[in-house]
Amino acid sequence: MEILIEDLKASVKCAVDVVEDTSIVQVLNRIQQVEQEQEDCKSKTLDIPDVEYTWFEESVIDTATLVEQLGTILYQYTFTSTFNVDDENLQLGNEVYTDVHYIQGLAWCLFVRKSKTDTPSLSLYIKLNDKGHRQTVKSCQATISLKLLNVQHINQSTERTSTNTFNPDTDWGWSEFVDWKDILANKERGFLDDNNNFTIQATVKIINIERD
């Protein structure tokens, strides 16, 4: 029995040796073909076209001449917003905001409020609504003009102007822009349309933006 087991082990080893020898033979036969393919790849040249681009010499810009030719550039933007005197929030003395308007990438909006006093007034403000939106902006200096439009006689519109420095998420305006009873509770004054709406025109002229 032991003799048979030894013979079987010898047969298995022989079979394994044959398989390994066959694998080696296949690899050896493949080496020559691989070397030839490598030479063929080396002998090929890529047809890469020449890339040409325009190049200009750096020149010095004469800012004085440029300003003389172009004039002073004013970063100015005007927008209008409409409010209703019968708005419940307005009558309760709450702040009513407009949509955001972007000027030089900065977000601005208006808001109004009816002051809670014996002689109520229209409080009118403009806000740099950029907290967390423009992290690089530290402040913005701007001239602000806010105008309550007279829809019947435009030349009788009420306007106020001020130059101020705004930080992100700060506002500026007038707590007593006009007397509420005299101007907005009296339709004959011409500041209300047929639907009891009044319109504010805002003009923002950017002077300087300070960034981090």
- How far apart (Å, rounded) are the C-alpha atoms in residues 79 and 201? 6
- Residue 161, domain member (yes or no): yes
Query: The pTM is what?
Result: 0.63
- Residue 119, domain member (yes or no): yes
- Residue 51, domain member (yes or no): no
- Residue 45, domain member (yes or no): no
Per-residue tens of pLDDT for the chain, all 212 residues: 555 456 556 555 655 554 555 545 555 566 677 677 667 666 666 677 777 767 777 778 777 777 777 766 556 789 999 999 999 999 999 999 999 999 888 899 999 999 988 899 999 999 998 765 556 888 999 999 999 999 999 999 999 999 999 998 899 999 999 999 999 999 999 999 999 999 999 999 999 988 87
CATH number at residue 138: 2.60.210.10
Host domain of residue 149 = 73-211
- How far apart (Å, rounded) are the C-alpha atoms in residues 169 and 157? 29
- Residue 96, domain member (yes or no): yes
